[in-house]
A and B are shown apart, each in its own frame.
Chain A
């Protein structure tokens, strides 16, 4: 059984600007956002062997809908995020309370190191990768590695539009889909060395948040607008399942940001 955590978009909106996608003069259509979130919830729920848990949304925390940033999960261990921007720091207590009351062991990082959970740390193949620069601190990745007792390879982000690792780096099976323009040359050398068969996404398709997808077996659940990637995935026996998430792109997130694999 695959379990996911989602948060209904009751309080979702563009209320501040903490990444280049957010512009208060381009507000989200609340009804449309609610409908898109509902479609995602249903589509995900219809996938084989999936179950969705919900955390109650809190007023004044519009980004709580992006549960992937709550923390990092490994088994029953939950490493709580410490958000870089004060606008999101209020989410921390809600998520910690939910995980503590749902049987997870909650760990926090020392020295209030900035860390944004499964938004920045992902497992690809048999290796954890952690992104830093815009949100998580490099020292946080070392601290996470200590808690996990596993290697976490730091990757350096260089394009502020792709401020979280999960906006430009999508592990698929033993391989990877990624956008090269989001990483510096050192990190590209590492990625290309470890994933010689990785699929590179075009600048046009990465802007549709094609990398911000949820992989369930041979299914890849994503926003619309990335036919080339879907064709490349199809050549490897994977199928795209698309659902329109335009209202969430206005805040810089899509399918992966809206779900947290438990």
Chain B
């Protein structure tokens, strides 16, 4: 079923007169598709039949031309009613039957006109107030807020994706570890360049594997070069990075030599203790305690980062937001303006971020495990493109292609 759709009604003696097949054939011939919403066949010769048909098309223009065509054959657009609202019964609770959002552009009909819903995010509700309709997470709704219920007066649209054919086209197919990596990484490099050119921000969502597998320099270089504008991660990535910056190890193992350092397992805790002692990562950078790495480059370049905590965190670092709802809000606050999300080596943060992104944001998920991309798609981030490869190798090759290593200045 295409995303652009309207319901039409065809009424009268439409069976014996072949009016119904005429309309259905016309829909298909004009480039549309149909689905029956309801069918009521007259029980006597005099009684009329009424069918409601959902007509859909791949784009709005085709839909309009299909509707105009079949209108002359008697299939009239149903006058859809306004969206219905019910007050939220309590803080943090939606009313029964609340409309559950998608990550697609959405409109609600209020007083006969279609109002664009602000701040698109999946799995939320829609609160209407002061002539505005705003996507609202469950924990943010307040008792008495007017919440949209049911599907009447709600219209979801998709824009045709402006992705070029060729590499991007085949990347949009199912996740596979069999695709030529170099071609795919080059395509991602081009997406970054295009995102920047369009004046949009590039978000990196990264797991600790990026550090302990040895691509800190590649990521730091991309931040330094202005290729990344925003970082979402957890305590682990930041702490591994800071441990490497201070001790040259990641979880006690030398990042350069791959050998365990003496008492290396303590480095991790000593690093977090040090940063806690000065109050923040930025302060540790200012005092010269952290002199290189991903977090260092973020602080130096003024790149915003959101570190969200989890139950297994050591420390955590003072910058880590341990209240998950607060962390979600901090992430949400940064999402406007993001055009491309690069998710590398993390399942938890990838899914959390995917949940918040509007469908028009391009998502590239890189993981050695194909299940991560599948999981993202299963949770509604259908736009995610998967690259199945080692996270560190991917970042190194990407940085090289972006010219940060001085090897290639293609962009």
Contact = CB atoms under 8 A, between A and B. Distances in A.
A154 to B, nearest CB: 5
A187 to B, nearest CB: 7
Interface string B247-272: 00000000000000000000000000
A155 interface: yes
B109 interface: no
B48 interface: yes
A139 B11 contact: yes
Contacts of B74: 132, 137-139, 141-142, 154
B19 A186 contact: yes
Given A146-B48, A156-B22, A186-B21, A141 B16 contact: no
B13 interface: yes
Contacts of A149: 46
Contact of B17 (A137, A146, A155): A155
B73 A190 contact: no
B76 A187 contact: no
A150 interface: yes
Interface in A58-109: none
B17 A190 contact: yes
Contacts of B21: 186
Contact of A153 (B16, B73, B76): B16
A102 B96 CA distance: 60
B22 A153 contact: no
Contacts of A189: 18
A149 B45 CA distance: 10
Interface size bucket, B side? 10 to 19
Among B21, B22, B46, B74, find the residue whose CB has the most chain A CB atoms closer than 10 A: B74
A142 B46 contact: no
Contacts of A190: 16-18
Contacts of B16: 151, 153, 190
A107 B18 CA distance: 28
A145 B13 CA distance: 9
Interface residues of A, number: 22
B12 interface: yes
B18 A151 contact: no
A184 B73 CA distance: 12
Contact of B12 (A133, A142, A156, A187): A142
Contacts of A151: 13, 16, 45-46
Interface string B68-89: 0000111010000000000000
B12 A154 contact: yes
B interface secondary structure, majority: loop
B19 A138 contact: yes
A28 interface: no
A139 B76 CA distance: 9
A142 B22 contact: no
A150 B12 CA distance: 11
A156 B72 CA distance: 10
A122 interface: no
A132 B19 CA distance: 11
Contact of B11 (A142, A150, A153): A142
Nearest to B17: A153
A22 interface: no
Contacts of B13: 142, 145, 151-154
B17 A154 contact: yes
Interface in A123-181: 132-133, 137-139, 141-142, 145-146, 149-156
A17 to B, nearest CB: 22
B131 to A, nearest CB: 31
Contacts of B12: 138-139, 141-142, 145, 152, 154
Contacts of B48: 142, 145-146
Nearest to B45: A151
Contacts of B17: 153-155, 186-187, 190
A184 B46 CA distance: 24
Contacts of B18: 186-187, 189-190
Interface string B46-62: 10100000000000000
A141 B10 CA distance: 12
A39 to B, nearest CB: 38
Among B12, B19, B48, B76, find the residue whose CB has the most chain A CB atoms closer than 10 A: B12
Contacts of B76: 139
Interface string A187-223: 1011000000000000000000000000000000000
Given A137-B74, A186-B17, 14 more contacts: A138-B72, A138-B73, A139-B12, A142-B48, A145-B48, A149-B46, A150-B46, A153-B13, A154-B14, A154-B17, A186-B21, A186-B22, A187-B18, A190-B17
29 contacts: A138-B12, A138-B19, A138-B73, A138-B74, A139-B11, A139-B12, A141-B74, A142-B12, A142-B48, A145-B48, A146-B48, A149-B46, A150-B46, A151-B13, A151-B16, A151-B46, A153-B16, A154-B13, A154-B17, A154-B19, A154-B74, A156-B73, A184-B22, A186-B17, A186-B18, A186-B21, A187-B18, A190-B16, A190-B18
Q: Which 3 A-B pairs have the closest CB atoms?
A: A138-B74, A142-B12, A186-B18
